[in-house]
Structure 1
Amino acid sequence: MADVPGRSAYEYSGYVDGPDPLAPPVDLRAAMDRIGKDVMEGSSPRQALRELMRQGLPDRRGLDDLARRIWQKRRDLQRDNRLDGTLQAVRELLAKALDQEREVLGRQQTDDARFKEMELDTLPGDTGGAVRELGKYDFQSSDARETFQQIQDLLGKEMLDQRFAGMKQALQQATPEDTENIRKMLDDLNSLLAAHSEGNDTPQQFDEFMNRHGEYFPENPRNIEELIDLLAARSAAAQRMMNSMTAQQRAELAELAQQAFGDPRLAQALSQLDSQLQGLRPSEDWSGSGRFSGDSPMGLGEGTRALEQLGQLDALAEQLAQSYPGAQLDDIDLDALEEALGEQARMDVKELADLERELREQGIFDRNDDGSLRLSPKALRRLGESALKDIADRLSARRGERETRRSGAAGEPTGSTRPWAFGDTQAWSVPRTLLNAQLRRAGGDQRRLDVSDVEVIETEQRTRAVVALCVDTSWSMVQDGRWVPMKRTALALHQLISTRFRGDALQLITFGRRADKVELGELIGLEGAYVQGTNLQHALMLAGEHLRSQPDAMPVVLVVTDGEPTAHLEPDGDFAFSYPPDPRTVRATLVELDRLTGRRAAISFFVLGDDPRLAEFMDSLARRCGGRVVAPDLDGLGAEVVADYLRTRR
């Protein structure tokens, strides 16, 4: 703008050229946490993404909220209105015309006046029949004749307003010449549609028709197909409005239609038009209906627009639901949505589309060979960062330990011993200490035990750890809400080891009826299945295989479970299940536990639930292997596992 003395040289207004540069950025971390939680609960990545679009985020309205507002608008439309507005207006005008006519007849003292009063008294009881008979009646009152003419004009305008948008307003000051021009338009339109249905029309015919009658089509269709689409949508809405009325109301309107503009030709032309449109567009909803129960009466045109609006709202609700195959956010008619709910609704959908596009562009998803989506390593890292951050916050606020058993000392045994020295904290070597005492007493020293007899086990601090995290995937873990905490625990431990202790070797092992070594992505996407069995024996066997692959590293085994062992691997490779636990299952589990103990593995059991029998059994396992039992609550599971790994590693 030009400089003006005393005024600023700049003006500020809303940003209109593309996305708002000052809008808050897309919160990908919150979106990833939501998707990750759904995937861990058993949803596919595609389902999780769709659920995110449905629910939105705290600062972004989701599709469900928009759909709820659409359905609310639909309910309000039906609750506040009713469809008998035209019938009500005709009844009021009819009563007025009869009163006006009777008033004039009452002042006439002639036999002819008495006869006409009798004619009025014997009119049919239904509105349609009464208007039909009055169409042949010779009114004595000019006011009554004019009022009756209003009935005929109203019917004609309402019927045309049903099929042609804005026609009622255009005909407010209509002359007989105007109504005749409309009849000619309808005749030409029916001829054009008949030629089209037979395949005999040409573009020139359409152009000629629009040149003559284009004023009746403000939508300005570009070809006959667009014209048919336009007319069929309104004609179908008009039919749905009629379907929504009672049988008596439909009969009255059918009777009244013959009196439109005082000439039955209009009703005949419109009936022919409806029939042709239904044949040309059978896919339109011609049989639907709507239930209106309010106090505000709507005329035929308003009612048709209401049914048309209901159809648009239903279509929007379906688009927002995204429940049909191949559904995309691009399917949503933003113009119709803005018309229904305002500009903010349009912006909400655009923001959701931006969020979905950003997630895809950031490489959150990879494709499997079958075309389905899976979480990418990048997504798993982000989920791991979030899980580890939550655990770090919990650990920093924690005030104590929740362990029930502990054994071992700092460092790992080397296999040799040495005499105890002041300040040593290593465990005593009981066999060497007792042997030294016996040898000393054999030499004549009768003291039972002397400090010089004590030898301690030499240990060394290893710099690497080989870790097996065994997680229970039996149905009870899903049923009792332990599925997601278990997966978040695995995420956090994996993230910690892959970023802070990269030299450590972590193996994730799942065990239900059988045990399997799995990658992180497999575990996160694992769906709960109703398969009975807790095969701890097989899990410990696979953990042993992993420990043997890294013989120079400190062995660590972490077991998360909520049940006693109820399955084991038979020598022939089959899996045996029994509940209550079979003694053979317990023996097979103890064999594998003893093998891990022989490798001097640090073993910790994280027991979920409050089953006293399970707690007693796990305590016995911990005593047998010199391990630990921790009984965390679900919220503290991840913190306990990570803290135990760090403590053991130190």
Structure 2
Amino acid sequence: MISRSNRYERWDGSQEPLGRDAEDLFDRLAEDLFQGGDFDYALHRLMSRGWRDRQGHKLPGFEEMLERLRQKRLQQLKRYNLNDVFGNIREKLNDILRRERQGINDRLEQAPESAKRVLQKITKKKLQELDRLPDDVGGTIRQLNDYEFMDEGAAQAFQQLMEELKQQVSQTYFKNMTRTMQQLRPEHLGEIKEMMKALNQMLRDRLEGVPPKFEQFMQRFGHFFGPNPPKTLDELIQHLERQMAQMESLMESLSPEMRQQMQDLLASTLSDPELQEQMAELAAQLELLSPRQGLGSRYAFYGSESLPLQEALSLMERLQGIEELEAALREGYQGRQLTPEQSAQLQQLLGNDARQAADQMSELASQLERKGYVQRGRRGMELTPRGMRRIGQKALRDLYTRLKRDRFGDHPISVRGLGSERSDETKVYEFGDAFNLNVEQTLMNALRREGPREPIRLKTDDFEVFRSEFSAQSATVLMIDM
């Protein structure tokens, strides 16, 4: 009896993830080539449609994954709207104004008679200022920044609201930074502006071809960037671009009136002129370093669920992540693999099967290239001489497989029966079979039937013989068109 052993070992990065499947997939690509077309087109079509692995499991293709991502994006657009992103801010402002008015009235009522006449003039002026506040959120905040509150509770509530808004606005540029950056407190403002100046200087150096002093920058300002700071200037630039694109998407998706309110809100929140100048310079230099060409997409929301500002920014982040995944999957046709972050996001959105399929399809082109079957040319993936020979071998193998059973010849086909070559497969003996007896298997059949005893008695049903392979015969003809 022939025994088989299987050996398992830990993945060390050197094993081929597709294994024998890569050979099978190359044969499928060859079948497409037989129908016409080039290899790059055949590979593109296979990756688009997906395939079944050797266990029969269907792996989704890039086309299916892209469609599922489009549906995910559509679900968000159908669910939400941006008609009231300032709703919670407006509610807090209204509550602050109610407290201030109530505080003014309480102060006037509690004042002694000797001071009431003077206090009435002051409170009247304060109430007139409140009455003249504009209706939009940004304008209200801008004027309240210069307003002296009479009610201490209203003043504290307004300062807390400003801290929240500063945190949200700062995350537009510096998400995942430490609380120091997010709160923009007066005692930290000077250091923040120094950090912005140094950051802009690094970007200017990059534009002018001067090596940027990124290590020195991180030694001085690394505490701003939280527990996982960027390791290179390119990582920092990519992060800043992504954050700015989220705000750009939000601005583009708002109505013109709400867009103006958002601009007023940003200007009111970052009221320091020097900091505003540094922010504007940062945006301009990022545009020069990596022209975004409208990286922030405009989304048409038509759902019924309103979102506050912070959740709207988070939604833009999710939608932008979907778009980046779509772009990465399209690049997968050229064998470009997803980053670990993109793979994790794909798994979160579409499930583990999509992640495995994307990883395998991205690896497929590279694996065929390593095997020497294809190479990257100016027009995409092209067959190498070795790949052409492999396709030729498949063509001949398929040809001889389809030949009719004939007399004994020299070409193997996949039909079993009477022939000239003995195979390793066995079968129960039938009348007419060549008596190529497998002695071991015959004795084992008798032992299974009779049990371990002596003597071993054989019956006709115990005999097991080796199969024979058919061979087909063909002729090769060389034809010359004169």
Confirm or deny a common fold (TM above 0.5). Answer: yes
Kindly indicate whether residue 68 of structure 2 is the aligned counterpart of residue 69 of structure 1.
yes
Kindly indicate whether residue 309 of structure 2 is the aligned counterpart of residue 316 of structure 1.
no
Kindly indicate whether residue 267 of structure 2 is the aligned counterpart of residue 268 of structure 1.
no
* Aligned counterpart, 2:334: 328
Query: Judging changes above 3 Å, is the alpha-carbon distance between structure 1 residues 172 and 84 closer, same or farther for their aligned structure 2 residues?
Result: farther
* Aligned counterpart, 1:476: none
Query: Judging changes above 3 Å, is the alpha-carbon distance between structure 1 residues 168 and 365 closer, same or farther for their aligned structure 2 residues?
Result: closer
Identify which range, 359-368 or 146-155, moves more after superposition: 359-368
1:330 match: secondary structure: coil
Query: Judging changes above 3 Å, is the alpha-carbon distance between structure 1 residues 14 and 167 closer, same or farther for their aligned structure 2 residues?
Result: farther
Alignment of 1:528-567 (within 5 A): none
Distance across 2 between alignment mates of 1:366 and 1:127: 59
Kindly indicate whether residue 347 of structure 2 is the aligned counterpart of residue 341 of structure 1.
yes
Residue 165 of structure 2 contacts residue 269 of structure 2 at CA under 8 Å; is this kept in 1? yes
Query: Judging changes above 3 Å, is the alpha-carbon distance between structure 1 residues 385 and 358 closer, same or farther for their aligned structure 2 residues?
Result: farther
1:57 match: secondary structure: strand
Identify which range, 51-60 or 370-379, moves more after superposition: 370-379
Give 1:337's aligned amino acid.
S
Distance across 2 between alignment mates of 1:14 and 1:174: 53
TM-score normalised by structure 1 residue count = 0.50
CA displacement, residues 364-412 of structure 1 (integer Å, 9 cap, x when unaligned):
78999x99546721221454477679xx99xxxxxxxxxxxxxxxxxxx
Query: Judging changes above 3 Å, is the alpha-carbon distance between structure 1 residues 347 and 158 closer, same or farther for their aligned structure 2 residues?
Result: same
* Aligned counterpart, 1:502: 473
Alignment of 1:116-155 (within 5 A): 116-155=126-165
C-alpha deviation, 1:248, in angstroms = 1.5
Distance across 2 between alignment mates of 1:365 and 1:223: 34
2:134 match: secondary structure: coil
Distance across 2 between alignment mates of 1:144 and 1:62: 58
Give 2:132's aligned amino acid.
T
* Aligned counterpart, 1:100: 99
Residue 329 of structure 2 contacts residue 358 of structure 2 at CA under 8 Å; is this kept in 1? no
Distance across 1 between alignment mates of 2:375 and 2:191: 64
Distance across 1 between alignment mates of 2:329 and 2:376: 25
Distance across 1 between alignment mates of 2:205 and 2:26: 58
CA displacement, residues 183-225 of structure 1 (integer Å, 9 cap, x when unaligned):
33223323443455455x554x443322221122355445545
Distance across 2 between alignment mates of 1:292 and 1:260: 27
* Aligned counterpart, 1:213: 221
Distance across 2 between alignment mates of 1:99 and 1:117: 11
CA displacement, residues 9-35 of structure 1 (integer Å, 9 cap, x when unaligned):
xxxx995545899x9964568646743
CA displacement, residues 234-270 of structure 1 (integer Å, 9 cap, x when unaligned):
3344333322222222211221223226645433332
2:278 match: secondary structure: helix
CA displacement, residues 125-162 of structure 1 (integer Å, 9 cap, x when unaligned):
22211222222222121121112112322222112101
Alignment of 1:178-217 (within 5 A): 178-198=188-208, 203=212, 205-217=213-225
Structure having greater relative contact order (Cα 8 Å, sep ≥ 6): 2
Query: Judging changes above 3 Å, is the alpha-carbon distance between structure 1 residues 377 and 212 closer, same or farther for their aligned structure 2 residues?
Result: same
Distance across 2 between alignment mates of 1:268 and 1:365: 53
Residue 247 of structure 2 contacts residue 296 of structure 2 at CA under 8 Å; is this kept in 1? no
Distance across 2 between alignment mates of 1:281 and 1:360: 32
Query: Judging changes above 3 Å, is the alpha-carbon distance between structure 1 residues 46 and 71 closer, same or farther for their aligned structure 2 residues?
Result: same
Residue 77 of structure 2 contacts residue 299 of structure 2 at CA under 8 Å; is this kept in 1? yes
TM-score normalised by structure 2 residue count = 0.65
Distance across 1 between alignment mates of 2:306 and 2:244: 23
User: How many residues are treated as equivalent by the alignment?
Assistant: 386
Greater C-alpha Rg: 1
Distance across 2 between alignment mates of 1:380 and 1:306: 53
Distance across 2 between alignment mates of 1:266 and 1:277: 17
Give 2:224's aligned amino acid.
Y
Distance across 1 between alignment mates of 2:376 and 2:269: 64
Give 2:342's aligned amino acid.
A
Distance across 1 between alignment mates of 2:309 and 2:231: 30
Residue 173 of structure 2 contacts residue 244 of structure 2 at CA under 8 Å; is this kept in 1? yes
Residue 334 of structure 1 contacts residue 346 of structure 1 at CA under 8 Å; is this kept in 2? no
Distance across 2 between alignment mates of 1:105 and 1:367: 77
C-alpha deviation, 1:84, in angstroms = 6.9
Kindly indicate whether residue 88 of structure 2 is the aligned counterpart of residue 89 of structure 1.
yes
Residue 70 of structure 1 contacts residue 317 of structure 1 at CA under 8 Å; is this kept in 2? yes
Residue 180 of structure 2 contacts residue 224 of structure 2 at CA under 8 Å; is this kept in 1? no
Kindly indicate whether residue 32 of structure 2 is the aligned counterpart of residue 38 of structure 1.
yes
Distance across 2 between alignment mates of 1:283 and 1:148: 36
Kindly indicate whether residue 57 of structure 2 is the aligned counterpart of residue 51 of structure 1.
no
C-alpha deviation, 1:53, in angstroms = 1.9
Distance across 2 between alignment mates of 1:196 and 1:303: 33
Q: Which has the higher helix share?
A: 2
CA displacement, residues 330-385 of structure 1 (integer Å, 9 cap, x when unaligned):
344454132232454442233335655666778878999x9954672122145447
Give 1:231's aligned amino acid.
L
Q: Which runs of 5+ in 2 are unaligned?
A: 1-7, 110-119, 405-412, 415-469
Distance across 2 between alignment mates of 1:229 and 1:162: 13
* Aligned counterpart, 2:454: none
Q: Which runs of 5+ in 1 are unaligned?
A: 1-12, 394-498, 508-516, 519-541, 543-572, 574-650
Query: Judging changes above 3 Å, is the alpha-carbon distance between structure 1 residues 500 and 362 closer, same or farther for their aligned structure 2 residues?
Result: farther
CA displacement, residues 99-129 of structure 1 (integer Å, 9 cap, x when unaligned):
1112223433535334432322221122211
